[in-house]
Amino acid sequence: MRVVVIGAGIMGAACALALAERGAEVVVVDRVGVAGETSSRCEGNLLVSDKAPGPEADLAIASNAMWRDLAERLDADRPAGQPATEFEAKGGIVVAFAGGEAALERFADAQRATGIRAEAMDAAALAIAEPFLSPEVARAIRYPDDAQVQPSNATQALLATALRHGARLVIAEVTGGLGRPGRLAGVRTTAGPIAADVVVDCAGPWSGEVAARLGARLDIRPRRGVILVTTPMPQRVFHKVYDSDYVGAVGSGDAALQTSTVVESTPGGTVLIGSSRERVGFDERTGVAPAAAMAAKAVRLFPFLEHTTLLRSYFGFRPYAPDHLPVIGPDPEVAGLVHATGHEGAGIGLAPATAELVAHAVLGTPTALDPRPFLPSRRGLRETA
């Protein structure tokens, strides 16, 4: 079985590895190369804490568990030049300011019912866990399963491992499909045609455009996010710390600027402050509004940040579907086309489980995951397409 995977972001790299390991002949096609886009313009949070009960939470819980083995496997016997995934299960702490306690507790209760570990922390425990946190924090809940990878490096490690399993990388742009209408038999690229039994669309925020080039309909849109990075400093943030207003923003479809604060330190000594959400197409002019809003909220969480220096900021475009669920599985109208996209702000976390579902769709390999909520044929997607 020959499979063309379009896109060498986290999704394409994870799918390429899963398919190659299960015996498929894989060709990955990307117009810039590995980890050149969204998967290098994001944070690497592998979160369960922000997921409201539902199919995405189930996928996140499964994927979070899969990352642990996967990261260990990728990091073991790493050849020279392959970066480490920097997997770290540091855990997350979600905090609420006065007035937000009840909502946070309700949310955590609902999560516990789905199997997410969410532990209430008392003031003393919080002071030990995060000594520099604002004393105004009124409630804190610890999510021990929240973890992270360095997303760009994890993508590079996934692809390098896939290549060692026989996959090939072609740096070219996919311009169209091969085959007849309704039946895809490969792709046309700027480096020539590539025949395939199945084509997997992992083109991130461009996957709608790629689908159209392949004769399919798929509504995937970009949602811009900005992240701030401080200069390196002695470590003063020890977990991922989120303001509980994060929970509100993830599922919201509002176009206007939203920010929700996530503060954490990185192995390089910097502090990352994320992130904003705006629906502005692929507009690269971020202006200063998102940065200013995030800075203000970050200082509210960690007052010491006021005096630290902003080193850089970057932005990316989250790929999202109108119903805010990932799109994974066979295209309902074009045979030979499988989608793996629309993961919005959780694509890094959801990559291993997505790859398993893609292998299931392409090769029929078994999975304990339920593919149905994510199928491209679902109503929530079709109605708006």
Partner 1 sequence: MIRITVDGEPVQGREGQTIAGVLVGAGRTAWRTAQTGGRGVFCGIGVCHDCLVSVNGVEGVRACRREAVDGDRVEREVRP
Partner 2 sequence: MRHVAILGGGPAGLAAAQGALAAGARVSLIDEGDRLGGQFWRHHERLTDPRLQHAWHRFERLRGALAGGGAQVLVGASVWSAEASVDGVRLRAVVGDADGDGRSAIDVDADAVVVATGAHDLALPVPGWTLPGVTTAGAAQALAKRDGVAVGRRTVVSGSGPFLLPVAHSLALVGSHVVGVHETSRMPALAGGWLPRPWELAGKAGEFVGYVGALARHRIPYRTGSAVVRVLGRDRVEGVVVARLDADWRPMPGTEREVACDAVALGHGFTPRLEAALALGCAIDGDHRGRFVAVDDAQRTSVAGVFAAGEVTGIGGADAALAEGAVAGFVAAGGALDDPRLRGPVAARRRTHAFATRLERAHGIRPGWTSWLDDDTIVCRCEAVTRRAVAERADVPLRAMRLATRAGLGPCQGRTCGRAVEAIVAESGGAAASVGFDRRPVLAPVRIGELAALADTDPRT
Ligand X SMILES: Cc1cc2nc3c(=O)[nH]c(=O)nc-3n(C[C@H](O)[C@H](O)[C@H](O)COP(=O)(O)OP(=O)(O)OC[C@H]3O[C@@H](n4cnc5c(N)ncnc54)[C@H](O)[C@@H]3O)c2cc1C
Contact status: 308 vs partner 1 (CB under 8 A): yes
Given partner 1, partner 2, ligand X, none, residue 234, with its beta carbon under 5 to 8 Å by kind, binds partner 1
Q: If phi over 0 gives left and psi between -120 and 50 gives alpha, with beta otherwise, what is residue 86?
A: left
Count Cα neighbours of 186 within 13 Å in the Cβ-side half-sphere.
12
Cβ-contact 116, 57 below 8 angstroms: yes
Partnered with residue 97 across adjacent β-strands are 137
* DSSP string for 196-228: -SEEEE--GGGHHHHHHHTT-----EEEEEEEE
Rounded to whole angstroms, how far apart are CA atoms 202 and 72? 24
Which of 102, 164, 182, 235: binder of partner 1 (CB under 8 A)? Answer: 235
Residue closer to partner 1 (CB basis): 313 or 367:
313
Contact status: 190 vs partner 2 (CB under 8 A): no
Q: Which stretch binds partner 1 (CB under 8 A): 33-41, 201-209, 273-281, 304-312?
A: 304-312
> Minimum CB separation from partner 2 for residue 235, in Å?
17
Q: How far is CA 102 from the centre of its chain?
A: 28
Which of 166, 251, 253, 287: binder of partner 2 (CB under 8 A)? Answer: 287
Which of 138, 296, 364, 384: binder of partner 2 (CB under 8 A)? Answer: 296
For the sheet containing 192-195, what is the strand order?
174-180, 183-189, 192-195
Residue closer to partner 2 (CB basis): 142 or 277:
277
Contact status: 269 vs partner 1 (CB under 8 A): yes
Which of 23, 120, 166, 231: binder of partner 1 (CB under 8 A)? Answer: 231
Cβ-contact 294, 226 below 8 angstroms: yes
Contact status: 272 vs partner 2 (CB under 8 A): no
Q: Which of residues 221-250 bind partner 2 (CB under 8 A)?
A: 228, 230-232
Residue closer to partner 1 (CB basis): 187 or 263:
263
Rounded to whole angstroms, how far apart are CA atoms 94 and 51? 12
Contact status: 150 vs partner 2 (CB under 8 A): yes
Q: Which of residues 299-338 bind partner 2 (CB under 8 A)?
A: 299, 305-314
Contact status: 275 vs partner 2 (CB under 8 A): no
DSSP 190: T
Q: How far is CA 52 from the centre of its chain?
A: 16
φ, ψ for residue 248, nearest 5 deg: -65, -40
Cβ-contact 311, 230 below 8 angstroms: yes
Given partner 2, ligand X, partner 1, none, residue 215, with its beta carbon under 5 to 8 Å by kind, binds none
Given partner 2, ligand X, partner 1, none, residue 83, with its beta carbon under 5 to 8 Å by kind, binds partner 2
Residue closer to partner 1 (CB basis): 235 or 252:
235
What are the distances in angstroms from CA 369 to CA 48, 110, 356? Answer: 16, 21, 8
**Site residues (CB under 8 A) for partner 2?**
32-36, 40-41, 80-81, 83, 150, 152-153, 155-156, 171, 228, 230-232, 268, 273, 285-289, 291-293, 295-296, 298-299, 305-314
**Site residues (CB under 8 A) for partner 1?**
231-235, 269, 307-309
